[in-house]
């Protein structure tokens, strides 16, 4: 659990730069996809905080499997952000 949470904290630096890019790139406010993208990407720190707290509570109460699965939820954002960063670096 601690290793993944370390990865989540380290991912906050590239998340910040991608968040700026998402907001700048979403100039078309008429698109519901643009608004969804901003909300989904902006929610990463809140998801990390919520799932980290929940995972530690589950861990403390002895529900180890549930704690591990709860701790893996932010991996969706990490995988998507890594793919997006890779695409930006390769395309640029």
C-alpha to C-alpha distance for 87 and 16, rounded to whole angstroms: 17
What is the share, in percent, of the chain residues with pLDDT greater than 70? 91
Is the separation of the CB atoms in 70 and 54 below 8 Å?
yes
Domain boundaries, the chain: 2-91
Which pTM was predicted? Answer: 0.78
Question: So what's the pLDDT on residue 35?
Answer: 74
Classify the C-alpha dihedral 40-89-7-69 as positive or negative.
Answer: positive
pLDDT digits (tens, 9 = 90+) for 39-64: 888 889 999 999 999 999 999 999 99
């Amino acid at each position: 659990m601690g290793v993944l949470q370390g990865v989540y904290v380290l991912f906050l630096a590239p998340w910040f730069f991608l968040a700026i890019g998402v907001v700048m790139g979403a100039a078309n406010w008429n698109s519901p996809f643009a608004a969804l993208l901003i909300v989904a990407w902006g929610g990463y720190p809140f998801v990390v905080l919520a799932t980290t707290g929940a995972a530690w509570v589950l861990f403390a109460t002895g529900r180890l499997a549930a704690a591990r699965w709860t701790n893996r939820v932010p991996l969706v954002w990490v995988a998507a952000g890594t793919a997006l960063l890779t695409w930006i670096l390769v395309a640029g």
